Amino acid sequence: MASNNLVIVESPAKVKTIKKFLGSNYTVDASQGHVRDLPKSQMGIDVDHDYEPKYITIRGKGEILAKLRKEVKKADRIYLATDPDREGEAISWHLSKALKLDESGKKVSRITFNEISKNAVREALKNPRDIDMALVDAQQTRRILDRMVGYKISPLLWEKVKRGLSAGRVQSVALRMICDREAEIEAFIPEEYWTLEADLQSSGSGKPLTARYSGKGKSKSELKNAAECDAVIRGCRDGEFRVKEVKTSDRIRKAPLPFTTSTLQQEASKQLNFPTQKTMRIAQQLYEGVEVEGRGTIALITYLRTDSTRVSDEADLAARNYIAEHYGKEYAADAPAAGKAGQKIQDAHEAIRPIDISLSPAEVKSSLQRDQFRLYQLIWKRFTASRMRPAVYSATNVRTECGANVFQLSGSSLKFAGFMNVYTDDEEEKEPGNSALLKLTEGQVLSLKEFRKEQHFTQPPAHYTEASLVRALEEQGIGRPSTYAPTISTILARRYITREQKNLYVTEIGQVVNKIMVENFPAIVDRKFTANLETLLDSVGEGSVDWKTVVRNFYPDLAAAVETAEKNLESVKIADEESDEICDVCGRRMVIKYGPHGKFLACPGFPECRNTKPYLEKIGVNCPKCGKALVLRHSKKGRVYYGCEGSPECDFMSWARPAEKPCPRCGGYMVVRGKKLVCADRECGYSEKAPEEE
């Protein structure tokens, strides 16, 4: 008699995909994510009894568990097939506890597969194992530490700033990184520099060649002002430009590595303009299974949460065979590309890749939604490119001299496209061609046609985008693949930061929360501390560190810091500051309150009187356009700027805080940049030390 097998997965979408691969003696059902968690009403960790977590059934999961219990009774064997990471391992453990599988007398096994394909699922069923408690403990530790930070610090923020705020172990570090970058940008003082180009003509050629000044003799130098630029021009006006050196070499551009979670989020942001959360949502759909014409419900990509670039031997061979067949043998790589050495990589998973490379984007386009197609195409092209040969460029560099002044010419042309036949990105070569340069010979004299000089100013560090923040978090070891998207989504939802175009800006409320965290919980927002904690969590997952040791060392310091902050933060409270404005409904003196968009005026007679007004906070500086007072304002997304109280009649605005003192050089207005006052007109370039604050 055939045995009855129950396979429990996380999502209903997977049920449909996996059922196709298994016989009639297999039942597949879904837990629909976590079934147990810490309670929302309390911290849920028994500090007095060695930090034991108190798990409860998640509201709404009772019916799902009841259905699963019925299936368990009918089954002879149960396979827990949740996602192949520590979160999935924890869900399997919680299921075994909630369904009392230890007491059922049934054979219970854990199985994992990196892709939802017939071979992978059947192979997993042949290799069942026990639940990996080290991975479960790693997830528990992360959850407990996050809960401790959230439930100890958030109430402090509610009391001292406003309700609805939160602190988090990773989100607070991410917020600090954005605030630190904003401070760098605000304090940045542009420095002037000039570029000088010479159009040079060689005998017998039609179009002049453009050479760029690089310095004197063998030393490279920059032109800092117009006078230095003009001095070079005077020195070269009557001289001859002689070719001193012509160097030609092949330049190799390596094929990219296949996607990890982080690099997929970055590229989807750059190339498709997807927020990180959207990338993960669509990748989840492609992983779990979509309806493809002629094939039914099939999964298209491997597991989406990974920081490994490893690819299975079978997938690597299939890709190189596909490339040889469709592009030519010369395009297929001899060996797979190597990833970075020395990084802490969770190598249990492969890179993100298509399950079946022969299923090209063109073949599935009609079956996919537009965004699903675009993301699948990006993943398919990147993986295919990673199994191809490098691109080869012929690069030429020419050194010309006019007296002591050196001018360089450079160009390149593509000799062999390699992987670029399939995949290109923003870093694609944009140099001019080198065919004209190849005709130049050493000792040849070139005639000067004209000079072009241009003034530039150094640029401040770029604002973080979601893509660059993910890259920075990954580089500094903060968070893991599964945490990047939810971390950014949380600080956006709390309105600590705002997104304009692709850039992330801190809001006033974000600055207030960050200041409190930096001053009172320096360890929580310290990047190295957070990265070290991530390494410890990895060690728990490997079974080399006891999870309770991590929690025992963490909690007492956190509790002490919260206790100190509760005493010291009395004066930081931002609420109900009286204004000079009288309520025009009931006559009471209005108070300043804090809302999602910053400060506003409200009547203290609430709820009897519900009158509110915008709060225009004067900064003590008059508008350089019309002379009225400048006030602190907020954009629709909560970003701070300085505008005229006479708006909309006067359209003056400045992201940097204007200073009271006018520029002594040009008479325009100056702005505060860190500890300096700088003229708002970059071409003027005047700056001086800002007066000390009293």
Positions marked active-site? 303
Residue keyed to tokens 């290799």: 127
Residue keyed to tokens 């039942």: 27
> ∠ CA 284-288-294 to the nearest 5 degrees?
125
Beta-carbon-side half-sphere exposure of residue 127 (alpha carbons within 13 Å): 8
The string over 306-331, giving b where at least 16 C-beta atoms fall within 10 Å of a residue's C-beta and e elsewhere, is bbbbbbeeebbebbbebbeeebeeeb
Helix (H) or strand (E) holding 52: strand 52-53
Asked if the peptide bond before residue 648 counts as cis, ω within 30 degrees of 0, the response is yes
> Environment class of residue 173 by beta-carbon count within 10 Å: exposed (0-12), middle (13-18) or buried (19+)?
buried
Q: What is the largest CA-CA distance in the chain?
A: 101
Please, what sign has the CA dihedral across residues 326, 329, 331, 333? positive
> Environment class of residue 22 by beta-carbon count within 10 Å: exposed (0-12), middle (13-18) or buried (19+)?
middle
**E strands along 329-472, which residues?**
391-402, 405-416, 445-457
Give the pair of three-digit tokens for residue 8: 């429990």
Residue keyed to tokens 């007679």: 605
AA identity, residue 347: D
Task: Please answer whether residues 669 and 686 qualify as being in contact, where contact means their C-beta atoms are separated by less than 8 angstroms.
Answer: no
| Closest by CA position to 474, among listed 574, 344, 649, 594 | 344
